[in-house]
A = this chain, B = another copy of it.
Amino acid sequence: KDLIEMQRTKKSDPNDPFASEPGRHPALAPSSSKPFNAEPPAELLVDNYITPNELFFVRNHLPVPQVDMKNYVLTVGGEGLKKHSFTLDELKEKFKHRKMVATIQCAGNRRSNMMEVKKIKGLSWGIAAISNAEWTGVFLSDILAHLGLADPEKRGELKHVQFEGLDLDPEKAPYGGSIPIEKALDPSGDVLLAWDMNGEPLSRDHGFPLRVIAPGIIGARQVKWLSKVWVSPDESPSHWQQNDYKGFAPQVDWDTVDFKKSPAIQEYPVQSAICEPKDGAVWDNEEEVTVRGYAYSGGGREIIRVDVSADGGKTWHPTELVAKPNQGYNRTWAWTLWEADVPLPKDSKGKEVELCAKAVDSAYNTQPESFKPYWNLRGVVANAWHRVHIKVEDDEDN
């Protein structure tokens, strides 16, 4: 099923499933328009610890559904369990409200950087398919406890929590994803069903009226327009869980790939990127360059250090972590913003300089130096050192 095909549907077509898409902020740069996928300019991203709602990157796999709240219910159940239906008001009344700051990153973030090694089929994301917000909702663990699942000894063969959205593919099958039941049941896992983003109800692009926030896990599992939560011995049967969003070794190509052989990505590895200056910028100070960016790791692992180089990785300089969360051991769900004034190599005037950034997380995980040994056919978890080339202005340029 070629989802890209759908983008080619004409706007004037009365049967266009994308006819009722919401309006978007003009600063969002689309990597595809149908379905809508877009990221903010990197320099705006790094200006705000909490990403303003209208600049939060958008990753839609299908047309945005129109939800009529008069009919909206969330169905919760599972194999061998009673089925419950909740209106949004019932969820809000029955369970304790929780607030949490969490970063969401698309597993395809920085695919365009990985593509420089070799072509990849997929949206050409830049470095800004990542954003940070404060979410309000209820703990999925509280809802599962309500179903009688609190005690790990009682859950038997149930191993995954599947989610379905109200967004439908051309055959009317919903978008879906799942997470391990351990993550869902653990109150320290902090999985939310959220209705509010930065103090406002979710917008249509971000999953109105309810979405999953599974912090520390890739965006693809944080299902929007949530209609169903289903506890199961199996992972979600959806295309995106089974045959997409998996990593492979660099020698695996579309002729040899077997999607069953690799696990569905859940936690993200450590990541960082330089948001300023931009690639190709001209810099007018020959002594030092001010570099700013973000860093983030999956699984609640904290960023403990970001190093920056102005000579392509030969020598390194410390950065200041200027905005960072204090959320606790393996519960650090929000990103870290960093900056540094990095001395330029001697005699840089008139020359090109390669800036690099690399982050370290609390498990001392690191980013790979280059993409080639980690290239994968889906272009996911692209987390090699981010490299930006700037030109140091020569006096004669003035």
- Interface flags for A43-70 (1: CB within 8 Å of B; 0: not) read 0000000000000000000000000000
A364 & B269 in contact (Cβ 8 Å cutoff): yes
Most B C-beta atoms less than 10 A away, residue of A247, A268, A315, A329: A329
A366 & B329 in contact (Cβ 8 Å cutoff): no
Q: Any chain B CB within 8 A of the CB of A317?
A: yes
Looking at A80-88, A92-100, A181-189, A278-286, the stretch in contact with chain B turns out to be A181-189
Q: Any chain B CB within 8 A of the CB of A203?
A: no
Q: Any chain B CB within 8 A of the CB of A180?
A: yes
- Interface flags for A138-162 (1: CB within 8 Å of B; 0: not) read 0000000000000010000000000
Closest to A251 in B: B316
Q: Any chain B CB within 8 A of the CB of A365?
A: yes
B374 & A366 in contact (Cβ 8 Å cutoff): yes
Closest to A249 in B: B307
- Chain B residues whose C-beta falls within 8 Å of the C-beta of A331 in the assembled complex: 182
Q: Any chain B CB within 8 A of the CB of A328?
A: yes
Chain A contacts to B: CB under 8 angstroms: 152, 180, 182-183, 186-188, 247, 249-251, 262-263, 265-270, 298-299, 301, 304-305, 307, 313, 315-318, 328-331, 358, 360, 362-366, 368-370, 373-374, 380-381
Most B C-beta atoms less than 10 A away, residue of A187, A251, A317: A251
Report the separation of the CA atoms of residues A317 and B373 in the bound assembly, to the nearest whole angstrom: 11
- Chain B residues whose C-beta falls within 8 Å of the C-beta of A298 in the assembled complex: 363
Report the separation of the CA atoms of residues A158 and B297 in the bound assembly, to the nearest whole angstrom: 26
Given contacts A263-B304, A368-B369, contact A360 B247 (CB under 8 A): yes
Given contacts A263-B362, A363-B269, contact A249 B318 (CB under 8 A): yes
CB-CB nearest 4 A-B residue pairs:
A267-B363, A180-B329, A269-B365, A364-B381
Given contacts A182-B330, A362-B263, contact A305 B249 (CB under 8 A): yes
A366 & B368 in contact (Cβ 8 Å cutoff): yes
B250 & A316 in contact (Cβ 8 Å cutoff): yes
Report the separation of the CA atoms of residues A363 and B383 in the bound assembly, to the nearest whole angstrom: 12
- Chain B residues whose C-beta falls within 8 Å of the C-beta of A305 in the assembled complex: 249, 262
A268 & B364 in contact (Cβ 8 Å cutoff): yes
Q: A316 is contacted by which of B186, B307, B373 (Cβ under 8 Å)?
A: B373
- Minimum CB–CB distance from A268 to chain B (whole Å) comes to 7
- Chain B residues whose C-beta falls within 8 Å of the C-beta of A373 in the assembled complex: 307, 313, 316, 358, 369
- Chain B residues whose C-beta falls within 8 Å of the C-beta of A182 in the assembled complex: 188, 328-331
Closest to A315 in B: B251
- Minimum CB–CB distance from A377 to chain B (whole Å) comes to 14
B251 & A364 in contact (Cβ 8 Å cutoff): no
Report the separation of the CA atoms of residues A358 and B315 in the bound assembly, to the nearest whole angstrom: 24
Please give 17 more A-B residue pairs, beta carbons under 8 A apart, in addition to A267-B363, A269-B364, A299-B363: A152-B187, A152-B188, A182-B331, A186-B188, A247-B360, A249-B305, A249-B316, A265-B364, A266-B362, A266-B363, A270-B365, A307-B373, A313-B373, A366-B368, A368-B368, A368-B369, A369-B369
Report the separation of the CA atoms of residues A358 and B362 in the bound assembly, to the nearest whole angstrom: 21
- Chain B residues whose C-beta falls within 8 Å of the C-beta of A366 in the assembled complex: 269, 368, 374
Report the separation of the CA atoms of residues A81 and B249 in the bound assembly, to the nearest whole angstrom: 51
Most B C-beta atoms less than 10 A away, residue of A247, A251, A315, A366: A366
Report the separation of the CA atoms of residues A304 and B264 in the bound assembly, to the nearest whole angstrom: 11
Report the separation of the CA atoms of residues A265 and B249 in the bound assembly, to the nearest whole angstrom: 29
- Chain B residues whose C-beta falls within 8 Å of the C-beta of A328 in the assembled complex: 182
- Chain B residues whose C-beta falls within 8 Å of the C-beta of A180 in the assembled complex: 329
Closest to A318 in B: B249
- Chain B residues whose C-beta falls within 8 Å of the C-beta of A362 in the assembled complex: 263, 266-267
